[in-house]
Chain A
Amino acid sequence: EDKVVQSPLSLVVHEGDTVTLNCSYEVTNFRSLLWYKQEKKAPTFLFMLTSSGIEKKSGRLSSILDKKELFSILNITATQTGDSAIYLCAVRPNSGYALNFGKGTSLLVTP
């Protein structure tokens, strides 16, 4: 059975800290891995990763995929209170259209 496991489940940091969120997966016929940020109810798309070792970057956020070790990390540098959210990792297999989501990491950035 396909699995996506995120760690830690929750994290509290101070503004300015750097955080690393982890996502490991066991998926048959992997195609791509996606990161979403969920504030309140609607997840918003952050990154899609398909190739190992190529960092995707957007402002203070960056992510990289390791297809050999089957994991991805999401880094947030110089965290701000507005980064407080649940960060979701999802994996898409080659067959079908459904994304397999992890349970998310709840990040709280305190002033």
Chain B
Amino acid sequence: GAGVSQSPSNKVTEKGKDVELRCDPISGHTALYWYRQRLGQGLEFLIYFQGNSAPDKSGLPSDRFSAERTGESVSTLTIQRTQQEDSAVYLCASSTAGNYGYTFGSGTRLTVV
């Protein structure tokens, strides 16, 4: 597609429920990143995918967070048993390999009530 597409754009969920966030990267971009941005804070790295290599999961804050990507296409970020501190904007970005001027999606604003 023309840009990085994320869905849903907004999600309100009850504490304890599972949520799944989707990212559709730019076609041909082999690298895909997930970041989290809490209110008034900078972006926190969560996970990185590069082609068919093993993902770098070093930023995932707990085992309630997981992400998958099939080949060089869509990625899903799953948060199990959501907590209020999970409320944030979740941003996905993609790039060609090694290019750090990557393109961000518009994010999913997650609110846990």
Partners in one complex: yes
Taking a contact as CB atoms under 8 Å apart, the answer to whether A103 and B100 are in contact is no
**B contacts with A: majority SS:** strand
Contacts of A97 in B (CB 8 A): 31, 33, 48, 50, 56
Interface size on B, residues (CB 8 A): 25
Contact at B91–A99, with CB atoms within 8 Å? no
> In whole Å, how far is B106's beta carbon from the nearest beta carbon of chain A?
5
Of the residues A34, A92, A102, contact of B42 by C-beta under 8 Å: A102
Which residue from chain B places its CB closest to the CB of A43 in the assembled complex? B104
User: How many of chain A's residues have a CB under 8 angstroms from any CB in B?
Assistant: 23
- For A34, list chain B residues within 8 Å (CB): 100-101
Interface residues of chain B, those whose CB is within 8 Å of chain A, are 31, 33, 35, 40-45, 48, 50, 56, 58-59, 89, 91, 100-107, 109
